[in-house]
Amino acid sequence: MTIAEALAWGITQLSSFEDPRLETEVLLTNNLQLPTTKLISQGDQVIQEKLLANFKSSIARRLAHEPTAYIVGYQPFMGIDIKVDRRVLIPRPETELLVEKIISNPKFTNHLIPYSPIIVADVGTGSGCIAITLAKELPTARVTAIDLSPSALELAKENAAAHNAQITFLEGDLLAPLKEKVDLIVSNPPYIPTADLTGLEPEVKDWEPISALDGGADGLAYIRRLIKDAPAHLNPGGKLMFEFGFGQSAAIRQFFSINPNYTDIIIINDYAGIPRICSATALGNNIA
């Protein structure tokens, strides 16, 4: 079978998916270790038997609704490839927006004095995508990544090493392992209501770790705790920034309205115009 024939076959096999050509191209280029542009220019090249078998196996895995990112073993995030497998959630574009808002904030980008580094805690780090990107984009930052899952931390450490990112990793529940005050607490916490999990597409509910998705009865269990606990761990003027789910912004504003430890509560829409990111600033006393 030639490359062109394999491409056509894969597209046919994945015809029920939203973008069968893109899916096939990703799987084929990954197996052949070729750039996408070569699929056309080298279309008449015959594929080695072993590589063809691997490609057909990848197609079968995708037909079983295994996420493409798990099949190829990585997910692009902010211009770098993050290794992923079933131990961690696959990074989403919405989380890229969270990182973009941080690295474009003068409060953080102006911390370029070596003896005055910004101190960052990434809570529920998963693959480490947020922590690694911030460590690279804010080179004077001291970044700590926290996760309750030992297996997720193992993978996050692999990713940090692969991208030469200097990060301290701590195992524990939310902010509990954090022993110093920080300038930024960032998180992409679980925020899907428990009852909604069964309605998710199979790529998510059957493959990604439920612990990284399940946000409790209303989806806000972890966010509620973050808002409550973060002030005790933030320096005066420090920020809490996190991602949240569809329809949750009103409840989040209510949580802040009864907490006297914050000011400047800002809700940011994603690229689809849906409220998705929250930013809040800690007041000076941080003890109420």
For residue 67, say whether it is annotated as part of any ligand binding site: no
For residue 159, say whether it is annotated as part of any ligand binding site: no
For residue 190, say whether it is annotated as part of any ligand binding site: yes
For residue 264, say whether it is annotated as part of any ligand binding site: no
Contact of 275 with 267, CB cutoff 8 Å: yes
Give residue 221's identity as a one-letter amino acid code.
Answer: A
Residues contacting 106, CB < 8 A, separation 6+: none
For residue 126, say whether it is annotated as part of any ligand binding site: yes
For residue 177, say whether it is annotated as part of any ligand binding site: no
Bridge partners (DSSP) of residue 80 are: 77
How many other C-beta atoms can be found within 10 angstroms of the C-beta atom of residue 175? 21
Helix (H) or strand (E) holding 282: strand 275-282
For residue 147, say whether it is annotated as part of any ligand binding site: yes
For residue 229, say whether it is annotated as part of any ligand binding site: no
For residue 188, say whether it is annotated as part of any ligand binding site: yes
Bridge partners (DSSP) of residue 184 are: 120, 239
Please state the residue numbers annotated as binding site. Answer: 124-128, 147, 188-191
Please state the residue numbers annotated as binding site for S-adenosyl-L-methionine. Answer: 124-128, 147, 188
Please state the residue numbers annotated as binding site for substrate. Answer: 188-191
